[in-house]
């Protein structure tokens, strides 16, 4: 199993980025995939996830600005991020949910972490 995140970069406040998470070794129908981020000096936090049935969940900070989606044929999960703000600056990771306990965006329930992609929002 592998997950590889890409698409990070540097944008100005108000800008947009789309992150991609290419998955291999499992099918997206059977596992939830989540996006997480970790800013310098802070703990890793959940941003969004998409479950096997396709239902989605967002953190409070992501709700209304970020959209998670997936392409089953490409086995890829995306995170469209709009209206980015400096506080969104972090390394973003994707991971597969391997344990079933709440809250759904608890990083401890996820494994097979990708290598991360850096998002920098600065004027």
Q: Per residue of the chain (123 residues), what is the pLDDT tens digit? A: 999 999 999 999 999 999 999 999 999 999 999 999 999 999 999 999 999 999 999 999 999 999 999 999 999 999 999 999 999 999 999 999 999 888 899 999 999 998 999 999 999
Rounded to a whole number of angstroms, the CA Rg of the chain reads 13
Q: d(Cα 12, Cα 10) in Å, to the nearest integer?
A: 7
**Nearest to residue 52, comparing CAs of 38, 69, 33, 37?**
33
What is the reported pLDDT for 36? 98
Q: d(Cα 15, Cα 98) in Å, to the nearest integer?
A: 33
**Nearest to residue 34, comparing CAs of 117, 105, 115?**
105
């Amino acid at each position: 199993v592998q997950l590889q995140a890409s698409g990070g970069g540097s944008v100005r406040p108000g800008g947009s980025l789309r992150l991609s998470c290419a998955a291999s070794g499992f099918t997206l129908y059977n596992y939830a995939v989540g996006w997480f981020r970790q800013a310098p000096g802070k703990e890793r936090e959940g941003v969004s996830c998409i479950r096997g049935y396709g239902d989605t969940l967002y953190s409070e900070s992501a709700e209304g600005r970020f959209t998670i989606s997936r392409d089953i044929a490409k086995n890829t999960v995306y995170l469209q991020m709009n209206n980015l703000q400096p506080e969104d600056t972090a390394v973003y990771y994707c991971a597969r949910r391997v344990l079933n306990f709440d809250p759904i965006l608890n990083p401890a329930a996820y494994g097979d972490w990708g290598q991360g992609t850096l998002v920098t929002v600065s004027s």
